[in-house]
Chain A
Amino acid sequence: MAEESGSGRGYLAERGWRSWAFTMDHKRIGVMYLYTTIAFFFIGGIFALLLRLELLSPQAKYFSDHTYNVFFTLHGAMMIFLFIIPAIPSGLGNFFIPLHIGAKDVAFPRINLASYWVFVAGFLVVIASLVSPMDTGWTFYTPYSAKTGAAVATLSFGIFLIGMSSILTGLNFIVTIHKLRAPGMTWYRLPLFIWGMYSTSIIQVVATPVVGVTFLLLAMERLLGVAFFDPAKGGDPVLFQHFFWFYSHPVVYVMILPAMGIISEVIPVFSRKPIFGYKAIAYSSLAIAFIGFLVWGHHMFTSGMSPLANAIFSFLTFFVAVPTAVKVFNWIATLYKGSITFESPMLYALTFIFLFAVGGLTGPFLGALATNVQLHDTYFVVAHFHYTMMGGTVMGFFAGLHYWFPKMTGKMLNEKIARIAWALVFIGFNVTFFTMFIVGVKGMPRRYAEYLPKFHVENVISTIGSAILAVGIAVMFLNFLQGLRKGPPAPGNPWRALSLEWQTPSPPDTENFHENPVVTDWPYGYGKPKGPTA
């Protein structure tokens, strides 16, 4: 197999917009998803900065309360539905699943292309809803969402489409992983990224229809006056919360499992060590996906559910912690007696473990009933899910972007600038979000445009942190742009990894592999006497 850069531009050789818009190459579709979702990440990030700007002062200063409410709704809805759910699965997943398992493409290339354009259509509908922007928060709780003047039905339809795209992608991946593995690629030789993606795809296929139906019911309530959720007409507002979280809780694992898969790839490569406890990591992904369906009620401990139901949901919630802890222990054990280097993918992978540990260990405060009742709907929750979702998933995404950049583009990054960006991101992140734990314990509720003066200092610190974080992310992406334009050519396997995607030229050709690969070992055989040499 080719070690050095082969035909030069590989799958990127063809030019012109048609070669992208009508492509059925999973790699191009993956790249289109990446560009699209990263654009939403920037838009969502700008909303976040506007929120932090407003929170510099206790009183509304720059925007009205209503504008603030629109901003936090758009920040949340865009980050969740348009960035963090699709970015890793549809972007990096599309690109790397076939390469990882030694396939030429996904099982249904046309459906894959269709799912991208359905996603874009969904986004256009979301844009159309901005004529009367949403002010409900990303959770759309009824009865407010059934009454507000915002274009809730339009936005619901947009999210319905985006959900459909997500189901199509999930189905495609499940079939691909089952049917298109190269000869010798048994289940226990799959890279752990594939196990993460497989678990994620199951959740997408099972849970996403529920959110589709939920938004359909909400749209029917608004447009046709059918009362599902409006108590004045005999509906039940809490029913919406059950529906919503039955989807939206499992979906946090759609967000995190692929990122955990990336970490499981990066840590062994940069430690030159086999992954520790392969099967435990693989099965824990499935366990997290399964338990994730049983715990939605922990978002609703103060919604008047019976104390018994609360106790059961609390108990089950704690058992998500166990497979999650197993993964973290295994990653750390992988480092033991390794030969560790700290290129930017590894820095982000270690940052993932560090920040995700903070996010994970603040979970029990919210899983335990007594402290949940205290902390629910305060900034403590905001801090907790930013540590898991941004400190976890987004750091995993950044690790993946840095790790696979040479493969995707055929260019190397400037490592020095990448590290400067990392340092800014790490510092900025912690200053921004750790402060929110403190102000949350002090009692500041979330979604407040204005707040009591006693919360002022924390909010100022947090806003300063957000500025540092923003600069770090800007430097990172300027580095990506610079690498794309002027980076030195990347060798086929710059990190000397063992998984299949690195055994092709950078960037890979349209057909992925010159000859069909035959797999004889798992991808983590570092430390073996005849392992690869420098």
Chain B
Amino acid sequence: MGKISAFGAASSQAGRVDAVFLMILVIGIFFFLLTQGMLIYFAVKYRRRRPDRDNETLQITGNHLLEFFWILIPSIVVVIIFYYGWRVYTDQRIPVAGATEVYVNARQWMYEIKYPDGRTAINEIRVPAGKPVKFILSASDVLHGFYLPDFRVKMDMIPGRVTTLWVQPDRPGSYQIFCTVYCGTGHSNMMARLIVMPPREYAEWAAHREEEGGEGKEHEPLAVRGERVVKNAGCLNCHAIGGAVKVGPDWKGLFGSNVPLEGGKTVIADEDYLRESIVDPGAKVVKGFPNVMPTYKTTLSKEDIDAVVAYLKTLR
């Protein structure tokens, strides 16, 4: 579906979702007017006028040709609607290269923001305009939602899993973020804002982070922290970061690759797979490697795991 610009759509993806919405709306209104128009027309036209002749109606019990067509036509229409709904959805799920990444963790009742370079924030996400943004979503307590109405997208935030969401903000501005999965007393007050800045302003803001609040020196880029965690936790005893084959798989080029598993399946090494392999290494064992790694669920904090994932992503 081509895109349309309406209802405050803030990205080209949103315009394409709106186009699907509009298509279904037009089809729906057409069928509504058709069926309900007939309902009302028949009800008025064939209302009982002569009480004494009320049994002289036609003994019509069906019409196979008519019924065949009103099975066929809805079938075709729903397949068309399915197809466009699926196409637009799939396109917006496909990762875009060169995205700005933002880690968002939800808890009752706030969004904790982390940028790969170590900056943090609460309930306010800043990203540059005109560039894809990838939100890497997690939750610490219960289910939460991450809904960007102006971008027509949402994704659940699930404890024990990492989910992702992509958008490409076209227009600078400030956009609402709602929690959409019921999460307890403060649910309706759990909100955040996505602030889309002109690229130059964003670069300036990102570069001057040290001056903000005077605690810039404490910021450590996530990947740097991850590298430290990896060394301290003994990961490199079994995993190489380029070239060698040790007890476990090599990490170089791992992120985003297609990993063959024991049993013949494959899995894409995304954030969720990396996290799962750290907390539950036996869940998806890489083909050709023994299932010997212990779980790091209790050894590493959630923040450490995020950091390790960020580090692994640098090992291209």
Interface residues of A (CB under 8 A from B): 65-66, 69, 135-137, 141, 143-144, 147-148, 231-232, 234-238, 271-280, 302-304, 307, 310-311, 314-315, 318-319, 321-322, 325-326, 328-330, 332-333, 335-342, 350, 353-354, 357-358, 361-362, 364-365, 367-374, 376-378, 441-443, 445-452, 524-528, 531-534
Contacts and interface: CB of A to CB of B under 8 A. Distances in A.
Given A143-B143, A364-B24, A374-B149, 14 more contacts: A272-B54, A275-B61, A304-B158, A337-B46, A362-B28, A367-B82, A368-B85, A370-B88, A371-B17, A371-B24, A443-B147, A526-B55, A526-B57, A527-B55
B93 A371 contact: no
B105 interface: no
B60 A376 contact: no
B78 A377 contact: no
Contact of A280 (B46, B62, B78): B62
B43 to A, nearest CB: 6
Interface in B23-53: 24-25, 27-28, 31-32, 35-36, 38-39, 42-43, 46-48, 51-53
Contact of A445 (B20, B78, B90, B178): B178
Contact of B153 (A148, A272, A361, A373): A373
B35 A357 contact: yes
B272 to A, nearest CB: 8
Contacts of B142: 143-144, 147
Given A143-B143, A451-B188, A527-B59, A340 B17 contact: no
Given A277-B62, A338-B46, A137 B92 contact: no
Interface string B62-86: 1100110011001100110110111
A365 B159 CA distance: 29
Interface in B152-185: 152-156, 158-161, 163, 176, 178-185
28 contacts: A144-B142, A144-B182, A144-B183, A232-B159, A232-B160, A235-B160, A237-B143, A277-B67, A302-B155, A311-B86, A315-B82, A321-B74, A325-B70, A326-B71, A332-B35, A336-B46, A339-B56, A340-B47, A357-B32, A367-B82, A367-B85, A369-B90, A373-B17, A374-B149, A441-B7, A451-B188, A532-B55, A533-B55
Nearest to A376: B154
Given A337-B46, A445-B180, A447-B182, A304 B57 contact: no
Nearest to B1: A370
The interface size bin for chain B is: 35 or more
Contacts of A69: 182, 184-185, 187
A452 B191 CA distance: 10
Contacts of B32: 357-358, 361
B182 A333 contact: no
Q: Which 10 A-B pairs have the closest CB atoms?
A: A231-B160, A368-B85, A443-B149, A369-B89, A448-B188, A318-B78, A370-B88, A377-B180, A335-B42, A374-B152
B189 interface: yes
A531 to B, nearest CB: 5
A332 B39 contact: yes
